[in-house]
Structure 1
């Protein structure tokens, strides 16, 4: 008996396919957004990566560790000396033995010797060797400050390039509008052709400039990747284009500011201290050191056993032996004086540079403020007026083109001025050692 069955319709494969494609598209969009978010970097993240990953930092860390490990052996004594052998022994072995009442001749000797170092010399050497790493630690900070300056310069230059590229994108739309509108008007006999070709040439120049700016962006990215020690030097990511101009009004520019903040000046100070410690070490070389020697001799052929116990002293104060130490002490004194003069020279130059940079920054801020509040808004309104007149057939294309060209060049000039301001800020940050 046949039983009727309800046959369920088979879904069309196309429905499944479209659903799968839709889901995959959504996932790709979401994952792309996540990747893009991960690839956005700001200046703080870049500086952190440089501090933790740049090879020069690892080099300094290894040097500091090496010096600290070496300093652990600063108070070591010289190794004891042992000796053994025949002492005043005849070449004829027959004489070694006892003959009647006559004892044999010769002895076999075992000797030990130890020099006892002067405690003040050990203390001076320990202080000197432990202080060596402090100089390298400050040099590390100075090198890191220079790396920060390189990174910030590249970062801000990249940021300005991105802003210029954004202006080029806007200008390309404007020029395409001019060209398309002029072609239509020329066909209808309402437009002269000369300004049209100027707009076409400007569009080509714009595209050429875009290629140049994009190449510059790649160069800055490679430089930052190199500073961060990225495995892929061409690693692609975007940067945060927001920025702030630092306010230096709270900084009092004087010598104490540089002494307290600049690692290179601190390195010179540590070098001066190290020189005095080395000088003190040379002084301790002029102090006597003592030693002890014990020797035991086994007599041959019934001869008595003998021993020798002797004290030793090293006398470096003799004129012929102390001459080099005294010369080193005098030389180190003048080396410390030279380093002190170098420190004052760096402070003097840095103070002058900081005051000069502050003056330039204040002037540049005022110039940029004029661009932002007066010049660019006025030129933008002029262009908008010309564009409205051109659309209403009361202005010519060449007038609109001139208004656009003036606005475009001024906007690019403004960005150049902004880049100069940020470069001044980077240099002043480097001078004051501000991260």
Structure 2
């Protein structure tokens, strides 16, 4: 609750002050959890089902009737014809009430109380999907920010090359051939920057939509990220049974089929009722009453529907069990594939970080030194920069793929908050 209030205040201040706030991933996820419209829809549906369950033990409405009873059509006979005689016919008031089967009421109550449990799990499954979408947009935004930083650095290097080449050409000390390549690359960088800045706007809109805030609300993000270590994780059925909300929803549906069967079985039991009739006699006829006990006896021809429903629900529960097995098998296969992909992608990222980029950086620095000492040409310096720049951008693409795979694996495992051990970049 404290975190929710803090996040809400944070978003409120963002709107009121117009200042650019920096949101961390957990701030965004907290806001989504409390504000995403579809989740509120589930909350309302859960409240609706819980409210309906309060009437699970209600009785059938009593039946009341009134009217003439055994009255002759000849109204003259309603009156007494003389001393010692009475009229014919009566006016009757009747009330009838069937008592609910206790077991049927208890079975119906258990069923209705359990109905909202399915929606609760569906809500968590939706939340898992939304969190995964938010994480992907967040991490993609981080990579875009890093690409912009790379472009800023490249722009400085190109300006150095262009300025230096212009000076040398004026003094007749250098060739102009690579100069135009550098000028074109400077334009390409500006073009790429426009595209990346537009992507940031798109990511911000996507996250604002998920947080259910103003679509153009301005904020920035914390560009720190964590690479998790899931290399030793084991993806057996118990992991998905305990973590995945969609599988838990199937369990709840299976439970509902059993509870529904109990209702159908309870309906095979007799139901008892009582009937009371009170008659007002005509022409001095004394008041009379009837007091009758009633019972509904299930017979073979009247219970076919109940028995068919019990059989149908048995097959439905078996189908749901098979669906669970199928889903866990599919999830396990996907998780192991992602685990292997992540391991391979980590190696590629580490090769970029430890081998490829440092070597190209040194190559550029040595070429730049040679250029400054007039032992290297501008086109060689440009080529060294171009290779380094493209490799750094490729590295960031690889890193984005790694983070995306990590989100996909966490989505499969239904890990909602980034609180697992890992290492910071």
Q: Is the 8 A contact 2:270 2:295 kept in 1?
A: yes
Deviation of 1:36 after TM superposition, in Å, equals 8.9
Deviation of 1:394 after TM superposition, in Å, equals 1.1
1:374 corresponds, among 355, 365, 385, to 355
Q: Does 1:396 align with 2:377?
A: yes
2:110 corresponds to: 127
Cα 1:377–1:416 change in 2 (3 A) is same
1:365 corresponds to: 346
2:150 corresponds to: 167
Q: Does 1:247 align with 2:226?
A: no
Report the secondary structure of 2:227's partner residue. Answer: coil
2:52 corresponds to: 70
Q: Does 1:203 align with 2:186?
A: yes
- State the alpha-carbon separation in 2 of the partners of residues 251 and 124 from structure 1: 42
Deviation of 1:37 after TM superposition, in Å, equals 8.1
Q: Is the 8 A contact 2:273 2:294 kept in 1?
A: yes
Q: Deviations over 1:147-183 (max 9, x none)?
A: 1100000000000000001111111111111111111
1:11 corresponds to: none
- State the alpha-carbon separation in 1 of the partners of residues 20 and 187 from structure 2: 35
2:27 corresponds to: 45
1:108 corresponds, among 91, 113, 124, to 91
2:69 corresponds to: 87
Report the secondary structure of 1:58's partner residue. Answer: helix
1:422 corresponds, among 394, 397, 403, to 403
2:314 corresponds to: 333
5+ residue gaps in structure 2?
A: 1-12, 417-425
- State the alpha-carbon separation in 2 of the partners of residues 258 and 371 from structure 1: 34
1:288 corresponds to: 270
Deviation of 1:249 after TM superposition, in Å, equals 4.6
1:310 corresponds, among 247, 268, 292, to 292
Report the secondary structure of 1:321's partner residue. Answer: coil
Q: Under a length normalisation based on structure 2, what TM-score does the superposition of the two structures give?
A: 0.92
RMSD of aligned Cα (Å): 1.6
- State the alpha-carbon separation in 1 of the partners of residues 233 and 131 from structure 2: 20
Q: Deviations over 1:165-211 (max 9, x none)?
A: 11111111111111111112112222222211111111111111111
2:209 corresponds to: 226
2:127 corresponds, among 133, 136, 144, to 144
Q: Under a length normalisation based on structure 1, what TM-score does the superposition of the two structures give?
A: 0.90
Report the secondary structure of 2:59's partner residue. Answer: coil
Deviation of 1:93 after TM superposition, in Å, equals 2.8
Q: Is the 8 A contact 2:61 2:97 kept in 1?
A: yes
Count of residue pairs the alignment pairs up: 402
- State the alpha-carbon separation in 2 of the partners of residues 94 and 397 from structure 1: 130
Q: Which has the larger radius of gyration?
A: 1
Report the secondary structure of 1:245's partner residue. Answer: strand
- State the alpha-carbon separation in 1 of the partners of residues 163 and 396 from structure 2: 29
Report the secondary structure of 2:209's partner residue. Answer: helix
Q: Is the 8 A contact 2:20 2:218 kept in 1?
A: no
1:236 corresponds, among 211, 218, 223, to 218
- State the alpha-carbon separation in 1 of the partners of residues 172 and 308 from structure 2: 97
Q: Does 1:118 align with 2:118?
A: no
Moved over 4 A (4+): 34-38
2:7 corresponds to: none
